[in-house]
Structure 1
Amino acid sequence: MIEHPEPPADTAAAFDTAATLTLASELRVVLGQLIRQVREVGTVGDLTPSQKAVLRRLEVGGPSTMSTLARLEGVRPQSMGATVAVLDAAGLVSGSTDPRDGRKTVLSLTESAVQQFTTGRLAREDWLFHAMQTELTATEQQQLASSIVLLRRLLRAS
C-alpha cells in the first residue's frame, strides 16, 4: 500500500477542489508548452523520437547492448537494429565487442554525439537564462526559484 504524506499544515487556506483542478490543468498545459519550446532550441539533428530515445538512454545509462536497448525501449531487437543503424550511419553511435561476451556488441555514443548533446544542452540553458533575464523581474525570478522546490515535491507524489 502506498502511504501518502500528510498535507501541508495550512490546508485551511488551500484552494477548493475546483480551483485545484483548474490549477492542475493549467500547470500541465504550461509545462508542456515550455518543454516543447526548450526542446526546439539546440536539438540533436533531424532525428525521430525513437532515435532520440536511444541516444538519451546511452547518454544517461552509458554503453549498452542492442538487446538491452530494445528491452528498455519496449521494441523488438530487429526494430532496434534499424534505429541503431541510422544512428551509426550518422556517426552518433559506435559499437565495440563486449569484453565479457565476444558475440555481443556494446553500443556507445561517439564523441560527435557527446558534443552535440553538450552544445544542445548549453543552447537550451542559454535560451532559458535569456528568457528569465528579459521576461522576469528579480522578484519573479525569486518566485520561480521558490516554485522549483514545490515542483520537486510534486514529482515525489505517488
Structure 2
Amino acid sequence: MSKPQNAHGFAEALALAGDLRLVLGRLKRRLREETQLGELSWTQMRVLASLDREGPTTVSSLARAEGMRPQSMGELVAALKSARFVVGEPDPADGRQTVLSLTDAGREHVKRARAAREDWLAHAILGRLTAEEQRRLAKSLELIQRLVDA
C-alpha cells in the first residue's frame, strides 16, 4: 500500500487507525460480555460459529483457521461433541479424516448467542444515537467494509 504524499496526512491516518482499532476492540469485548456462553469458551464459540458459517470441515482445517495445533483443536472438539453441539462423520473422500458439522443444538446455540449480541447492539443504537447519527453510522459501515475488503 502506498503512503500518502504528505507526512501530516499519514500521521492523521495513523492516529485514526489507532483510534479505530481501540474502538472496535472495545465493541468486540462488549459484545462478548452480552453473550451467554454457558460453559463454552470463546474458542469453542468461534468453532461453532465457523461451522455454522462455513459448513462441515475437519479438525485440521479448524485448527489452521484458529492458529492452533490439531491436537488442541481435537480436545476442544471433543468437548463440543460431548455437549452434543458437534457431530463427526467419516470423510467420504478420505476415510482417515472426520468431517465435523453442527447438530441442531449447536446451530441453536450459535443463533441464540448472535441474537443476544444483536439485541444489545440494537438497543444501544436506538437508546444512544439520534436518527441522524444512526444514518451516519450506517454510512460509516460502508467505509469500514471497504477497509476490510482492501
TM-score over 0.5 for the pair: yes
Quick one: percent identity of the two aligned structures?
A: 50
Aligned to 2:82: 89
Q: How does 1:115-154 map to 2 (within 5 A)?
A: 115-154=108-147
Aligned to 1:101: 94
Quickly say closer, same or farther: Cα 1:25–1:78, change in 2 above 3 A.
Answer: closer
Aligned to 1:29: 22
Instruction: Name the SS of the counterpart of 1:106 in structure 2.
Output: strand
Name the CA distance, whole Å, in 2 between partners of 1:70 and 1:31.
25
Aligned to 2:55: 62
Aligned length: 147
Structure number with bigger Rg: 1
Residue type of the partner of 1:93? V
Name the CA distance, whole Å, in 2 between partners of 1:16 and 1:77.
44
Structure 2 stretches of 5 or more lacking a match? none
- Give me the CA root mean square deviation: 2.4
Name the CA distance, whole Å, in 2 between partners of 1:71 and 1:29.
26
- Choose 133-142 or 43-52, whichever is displaced more: 43-52
Instruction: Name the SS of the counterpart of 1:132 in structure 2.
Output: helix
Deviation sequence 1:24-74 (CA, Å, 0-9, x none)? 222211111111111222243332343233223312221112233334334
Structure 1 stretches of 5 or more lacking a match? none
Please state how far the C-alpha of 1:76 moved relative to its aligned partner. Answer: 3.1
Name the CA distance, whole Å, in 2 between partners of 1:114 and 1:152.
26
Q: How does 1:3-18 map to 2 (within 5 A)?
A: 16-18=9-11
